[in-house]
């Protein structure tokens, strides 16, 4: 054990003996640990920082924007001037998602309709 580890352990044991941990909030309740096993070890610290700052990884931002674009496209008619621009932006986002290795099945088909219905309910 490293010297720093021994020092920390000693201070923790001293604090336990003094009862400094007895009345902490959440004492006796199970811990809620985030499962970050799907994130490579070298990226976990960075992802944790982004999560704590309420930032999403770019792929999830693309996904969120794509769902919003699908919603806009359903409310805009085909002959509207913005329709083609929105459609082009959606195609670009689909390409970025595929390049990131994510499925774009959620944008088309039955799953997309169910997802849009769920979003509209909320």
Residue 5 falls inside a structural domain: no
Q: Which two tokens stand for residue 21?
A: 């941990």
Residue 50 has pLDDT above 80, yes or no: yes
Contact (Cβ atoms closer than 8 angstroms) between residue 99 and residue 59 = no
Mean pLDDT on 72-100: 86
Residue 63 falls inside a structural domain: yes
Residue 69 falls inside a structural domain: yes
Our count of domains for the chain comes to 1
Q: How many CB atoms lie within 10 A of CB 100?
A: 13
The model scores a pTM over 0.85: no
What gap in Å lies between CA 38 and CA 35, rounded to an integer? 8
What's the confidence (pLDDT) of residue 28?
80
Question: Among residues 51, 66, 57, 67, which one has the least CA distance to residue 100?
Answer: 57
Give the dihedral of Cα atoms 57, 58, 61, 66; nearest 10 deg.
-140
Residue 71 falls inside a structural domain: yes
Residue 65 falls inside a structural domain: yes
Continuous H helices in 25-108: 41-52, 58-75, 81-99
Residue 88 falls inside a structural domain: yes
65 CB burial (10 A radius; 0-12, 13-18, 19+)? middle
Q: In angstroms, how far apart are the furthest CA atoms of the chain?
A: 74
Residue 72 has pLDDT above 90, yes or no: no
Residue 43 falls inside a structural domain: no
Residue 57 has pLDDT above 90, yes or no: no
């Amino acid at each position: 054990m490293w010297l720093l580890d021994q020092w920390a352990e000693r201070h923790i044991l001293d604090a336990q003996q003094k009862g400094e941990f007895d009345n902490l909030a959440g004492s006796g309740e199970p811990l809620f640990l985030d499962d970050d096993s799907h994130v490579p070890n070298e990226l976990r610290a960075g992802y944790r920082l982004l999560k704590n700052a309420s930032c999403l990884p770019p792929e999830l931002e693309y996904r969120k924007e794509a769902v919003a674009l699908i919603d806009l496209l359903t409310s805009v008619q085909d002959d509207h001037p913005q329709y083609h621009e929105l459609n082009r932006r959606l195609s670009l986002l689909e390409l970025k998602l595929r390049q990131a290795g994510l499925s774009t099945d959620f944008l088309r088909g039955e799953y997309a309709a169910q997802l849009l219905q769920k979003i509209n309910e909320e």
